[in-house]
Amino acid sequence: MQRLLPRIITFVCGMFLAIQYFIPHKSSEKVYETSIDWLIIVGVFAIVLGILSLVTVNLEKIRRKSAGYRHAWVLLAGLVFMVVAGIVTGTGQDGLFLRLGYNAILNPITATMFALLAFYIASAAYRAFRARSVLATILLLSAIIVMLGRVPAGEVIPGIPWLTDWLINVPNMAAKRAITIGLGLGGSATALKIVLGIEAPHLR
């Protein structure tokens, strides 16, 4: 029963939501919206579990003084600071400390992380574009053409803009669509496996 009941619930909910997609009636829409609301409510409760997990893992790191345990102190201090700031000064525009936490600390840090992407792209491109085989050489040439076609200097070279558009709109688009079709079918098959209970890794 412990395994059967979750499978029955999965089957009923899965089938209903699959059929609901084809029913535009407002009753069907209402049930769908309610199920989404349930998901949000479950998510809110799960946040509590998530924070508990976060605190437990980091306290354990501090207790064992494992590698990087000082970072755990920073994390827990930040967590407590933001919670206290939100409760004491509010979460709106008047919440000075909360805004300070977001605008002066979190936003610059996340922006820095995102900015690092440019350097990671450069190093990955260097490895990917090494002409070690025929396919890698084709990749390198295609990349050079597309890069040239996307900068003002490349636009004045005859044929480059046309070739860039052709590479993006024909071979690249064909590959993307093939992958999309595969993903659509694979996703449907996976959903079907779970709805029918053929695949349930959490119920082994």
DSSP 44-71: HHHHHHHHHHHHHHHHHHHHHT-TTHHH
Q: How far is the CB of 161 from another protein (least distance, A)?
A: 22
Q: Which is nearer to another protein, 18 or 157 (CB)?
A: 18
Residue 22 interacts with another protein (CB under 8 A): yes or no: yes
203 touches 7 (CB < 8 A): yes
Residue 57 interacts with another protein (CB under 8 A): yes or no: yes
Q: How far is the CB of 196 from another protein (least distance, A)?
A: 8
Residue 51 interacts with another protein (CB under 8 A): yes or no: yes
Give the binding range for another protein (CB under 8 A) out of 93-101, 144-152, 155-163, 186-194: 186-194
The letter for the amino acid at 90 is G
Residues 87-146 that bind another protein (CB under 8 A): 106, 109-110, 113-114, 116-117, 120-121, 123-125, 127-128
112 touches 92 (CB < 8 A): no
Give the binding range for another protein (CB under 8 A) out of 88-96, 145-153, 160-168, 184-192: 184-192
Burial of 97 from C-beta contacts in 10 A (0-12 / 13-18 / 19+): middle
Q: How far is the CB of 156 from another protein (least distance, A)?
A: 28
The letter for the amino acid at 187 is G
Both structure tokens of 24: 């535009």
Estimate the crossing angle of helix 107-115 against helix 117-128, to 10 degrees: 20
Long-range CB pairs of 167-173, under 8 A, 24+ apart, other chains included: 167/142
Interacting residues with another protein (CB under 8 A): 18, 21-27, 29, 39, 42-43, 46-47, 49-51, 53-54, 56-57, 60, 67-68, 71, 106, 109-110, 113-114, 116-117, 120-121, 123-125, 127-128, 176, 178-183, 185-194, 198-199, 201-204
